Amino acid sequence: MRRTGFWTVLAVMSCATTSGADATRSTSGETTTTAAAATRAAVASPATPARVTRVAMFKNGYGFVFRQVDVRGGTTVRVDGAPRAVLGTLWAYPVDGDVSVRGFRAVEGKGTEDRDCAAVPDLLRSSIGKRVRLARMSESGSQSYVGTVERAVGDDLFLLRTESSACANGEGAACAAAAGGADGGLLAFSASQFDSVVFLDTPPEQCTAEVARTQLVIDVGGSGSGTIEYTALEEGLKWVPEYRVERIGDDKVRITLQGALVNDAVDLADADVDLVVGVPHYWMSGTLSPMVIEGALEEVVAGSYGPGGRWSGRESNSNAWASNVMQTQMSMPYESQQAYGGAGEVQADLGGVTAADADELSLYRVEHVTLGKGERALVRVFSVEVPVEDIYKWEIGGTEAEAANVLRQAASGDSSALQRVSSQRVWHHLRLANRSDQPWTTGPAVYFADGNVVAQDRITYTPAGANVDLRLTQATDVLVSWDDVEDRRDRAAREIDDVYWDLILGHGELSVRSHEDEEIQLVVVRRMMGTISEPSDSGTVHTEPGGASTWSPYFTGSTDPYASDYGSSYYDWGTTRVNSPTWVEWKIALGSDQEKKLTYQFRYYTR
């Protein structure tokens, strides 16, 4: 089916190339102009420039581009370059004056471009009408094609009028056949799909050539002058947040957010850029609008060379998977006594950046951005001083028997076991209080103290009024021990589908001793797949709702930003049929050289 579509597209394009400007004969023998010829004649007129006024960049590789064009009612306006729009996102509408959009079409036009001759696609673009040899290695061996570059369809998509079929080793008479050989077919190709491109005719030094270019044709209604805006969701725009956390006192830090802008889509000149905080849902991401004329051919070409091409699939092309770890917003809860939505105790210095809300998304606006296609930039988003608290955290999960097994694995050099053991040590954290009036998005954070780089961690999505913990270093001067004791075992206490489970009842003790120079605030969290009860020292028990087949909300509601890391390591998920996860949290003050023992009861089912 894909191959049939490929040759159908080529046949249509071949016909359009050879006869698109010809006239057709009526039944009376008179010459009439075809609609296609009329369209091509129309687009020969100079294009009206469209200016990019605003871009909304997401963190998943997509962005909305807003363009405006000045028009007059009752005319037809032609604009060079149709956006590479995601299906369903290309819209045009009036924003000023007594005008309207009566029609909105995409047609093929002609234009010239000046490009850097250092790039192979630009050399090919400037070599229309010249002979080249393409060579690549395939499973069946070496293949090459010789022919004349006939058209440039996209940025890296060309049509080659071949002089011979693919031949082995790139040698022989067939590969060097004269122009007008027996084959003479059209090959659609991308330079990146071949190992070498040999220019048999010397390409020009100046890479300026006439190229095929999609034009938008807007039929304008109304009267007088006005402005029409059109917008589209396009791939190739992305922003990456980066934080600097700087200690400026015992109880205060300065947090600075900068955005790394990635622009592979469109030239920006004095445009407004909205940096979007949130998780947008665009179902058709990776699927081009039919208005992108060359899009169908690109999909066919990529598909003909196997999986992994740029347009090989909507889901794999969405950039979402690669961005999940850092770019996806991860929920951070806030203390029950905190007010959601901005305590407003500190006024953020946005440095010319304005914050706004759009439904569930928040926007940071950076004005007057000039950034060419293919360029990168760092822009300052905000700087704010907020309260900070030094805390120490000890996270314990699983059962003592599982922990002993992990220690044995770590002693043997198992890397995953070493990581798990490291995760359950005491860590020094900074608890940052977002007292600004805008949320903090997820991103890497580097911590400076006294002019030195101390650590790097991540700040997870933190609403205004919430707290977030930044993990710094292991607290080697805080010593801990852990002891779980099985008090009773009821054999075959529960039966499910002919599987019998033993009930374990016991008690545990956690011991902590601090050798820090001053009093510390310690947070201790004990987790297990089972039921924890009767904690000492005013510990708070959190019980997960649901049973065996219920997804646990713990991983999006935890006070611990590493909850998902802990979960996979701490919990024996094989017992979820009879156990649900619970956890208990203690918050204590621990003086220098002071020891504290925390106790609790537990019960769980096992086989």
How high is the mean pLDDT in each 10-residue block of the chain (607 residues)?
33 34 38 45 63 92 93 89 83 92 80 67 85 85 88 85 62 42 75 88 70 80 92 91 94 95 93 84 71 54 42 35 32 30 28 42 87 92 94 81 66 70 79 91 93 91 92 91 90 90 93 93 90 94 58 38 43 70 92 94 91
Cα separation of 262 and 323, whole Å?
Answer: 14
pLDDT for res 87: 84
pLDDT for res 296: 47
pLDDT for res 247: 95
State the alpha helices, DSSP H only, in 20-157: 35-42, 120-125
Cα separation of 215 and 293, whole Å?
Answer: 10
**Of the candidates 18, 298, 287, the residue with the CA atom closest to the CA atom of residue 158:** 298
DSSP state of 156: T
Cα separation of 70 and 96, whole Å?
Answer: 9
pLDDT for res 140: 72
Other beta carbons within 10 angstroms of residue 542's beta carbon come to: 16
DSSP state of 416: H
Other beta carbons within 10 angstroms of residue 45's beta carbon come to: 11
Give the CB-side neighbour count of residue 450, counting CA atoms within 13 A: 2
Contacting residues for 509 by C-beta, under 8 A, at least 6 apart: 482, 483, 485, 597, 598, 599
pTM of structure = 0.61
